[in-house]
Amino acid sequence: MTTVRITEAAAAVVARVRTQRSGPLTFTIDGGCCEGAAPHLFEHAVITSAAREVGTAAGVPVYLQSAMIEPYEHADVTIDVIDEPLSEAMSLETEFGLRFVLREAAAVPARGRSAVEG
Amino acid sequence: MKEYGLFINGQWEAAKGGKTAPSINPATEEAWCKVAVADREDARKAVAAAKAANDSGVWRNKSPQERGEILQRVAAAMFERQDELAAAEVQDGGGTMRKAMSMDVPGAAQTFFHFGSYITGDEYKAMLQEEYEEMVPIPSRNLVVREPIGVCAGITPWNFPMVMGSWKIAPAIAAGNCVVIKPASVTPVTTLLLAEICTQAGVPAGVVNVISGPGGTAGEELATHPDVSKVAFTGSTEVGRRIMQLGAGTLKKVTLELGGKSPNIILPDANLDTAALGSLFATFMHQGQICESGTRILVHEKVHDEFMEKMLAGMQRIKIGDTMDPTTGMGPLVSSSQRDTVEKYVELGHEQGAKCVAGGKRPQGMTKGYYYEPTVFDGVDNKMRIAQEEIFGPVVSVIRFKDEDEAVRIANDSVYGLGGAVWSDNEERAVALARRIETGTVWINDYHMINLRFPFGGYKQSGVGRELGKWGLAEYHEMKHIHVGQSTPPEGKFYFQMLLN
């Protein structure tokens, strides 16, 4: 089970976004290229069956995109927020010069065989 | 402090809301200039300028010869301003002056030169109009013609702002389109300067517009605006997916170049001296902040120890330091949050049992700048998170394999499929292996040899479509079939009888 939490500060930002956007909000988590794994808050996001819902944060459903499902299977993640006046993400909080980030509790061992061989 | 505006319709402009943001030099952690921050309104204005330039025909109706000559002038003008461009690139993004002068400026300028000269040649002429005679159902002449698409948006990342900006601008305008480019907001300056250079070199106002601003507003506007017909994006996977979703609203053409976790395969018959240094080049160039970096070294167990010894010895030749110093090979990471990400993954590597044999920490004695040592994890299992997730920093995972089948299985066990390499003295064997790797590019006995003449892009979740070469250029065209039937009496069109009695 993936555990998802959100800090008070990040939840307050979600509330602020809600004052600007009337459509349904969704958090998605994916990685790749310039940002690493990060949460993205979108309005009217299209979620396909390739993604997996892993909980809610500030009343917003949180999905792992397909590539994240396995690595985050047992992860305990917290959505937090930092000041980032210049983000290239299309996540909605970037409008306020903020960026959601993913904090992780202690990681768990890789699935399958024991890690080091030889 | 220097200030840069937005470049819209051939001139510098302040953002409508008057907002600016400092650009931080990652080596000093200090602001070196201020840049205007665009919002939704500014994005609309830039699209309107591009649309007006497109509709006027001032650019699309020029002959390829005329456009090509102007693009070549852009390239020449970039070389004239190379010191200014290189200094801006280094201070914005934290790359080294050595890289900026030997790759960023010439690489970007050559992109304009390449597409500028290509469109004046016969091959492009043949691409623009193909002609076929057809006999069925009755004789006809058939033209397949290519035309500009219209307004194209380009959204680029912070790792190679000038080169990525050129990849988006040059082929688009070569084909006769007008563009709005949104560079990453942390590294916007050289792309803004490129727009100015284009205009000064003779590209008409409104053909090249550049705005810097947040993805959530300016980016979203570009990806949804009905007057934008194509979006080309380079950057992170989730942003790419979002652009595709937003573009679906008005069915935009979309090309995406996204993340990677590229396999760098060392066969037992490789020249290990070259492979070892080549693997350093593959992973630590620009602090590993390259999408197609060879971040998974797959080495045959027979040569593992010898290869590692040579690679670790080679690391002594990488100097970390002042980005403006021409002897520096590695600069800082782009931002403090990027370094946080790298540190998180290094911790994960330790926790999951990989063995850190080099680096793994910030360099000692460097109190300023987002520096991080080149880091090597040995004994990595491909299931570990450091082998599956893109770190985008100077961290490489070394994974052993027993035979080629296992190497292929590990190489392809990734959601990504961007780049990769095979090192071997046996060319045929290496090519055969390359064909089995599910990535858009494979280099043999080399790395990072992206070439303007050949397609670049990703399999799987690394992207959609290709950039560069005639294939990338083709993506900036609409295609039209013109059927030229003979003018005959009605009886000549016998198929009318399907309807008519």
Q: How far is B427 from chain A (nearest CA, A)?
A: 30
pLDDT at B394: 97
DSSP B104: I
pLDDT at A33: 64
Is pLDDT larger for residue B214 or for residue B303? B303
User: Domain-by-domain residue ranges, chain A?
Assistant: 3-104
Tokens of B15: 């953002």
Domains in chain B: ranges and CATH = 2-258+462-481 (3.40.605.10), 263-444 (3.40.309.10)
Q: d(Cα B337, Cα B241) in Å, to the nearest integer? A: 23
B205-216 mean pLDDT: 95
pLDDT at A116: 34
Residue-wise pLDDT tens digits, B151-204: 999 999 999 999 999 999 999 999 999 999 999 989 999 999 999 999 999 999
Helix, strand and coil content of chain A, in percent to the nearest 5, comes to 20, 35, 45
Q: In chain B, how many H helices and how many E strands?
A: 17, 23
Name the residue among B289, B391, B415 with its Cβ closest to that of A67: B415
pLDDT at A108: 45
Residue of B nearest to A110 (CA): B384
pLDDT at A67: 86
B233-259 mean pLDDT: 94
**Which CATH number is A3-104 given?**
2.60.300.12
| Interface contact A112, partner B, CB < 8 A | yes
| Interface contact B20, partner A, CB < 8 A | no
Sheet order of strands, B20-25 included: B2-4, B30-36, B20-25
User: Is the whole model's pTM more than 0.95, yes or no?
Assistant: no
Which of B:445-474 have CB within 8 Å of A?
461
Residues 6+ apart with CB under 8 A from B420: B262, B263, B264, B265, B294, B411, B434, B437, B439, B441, B442, B443
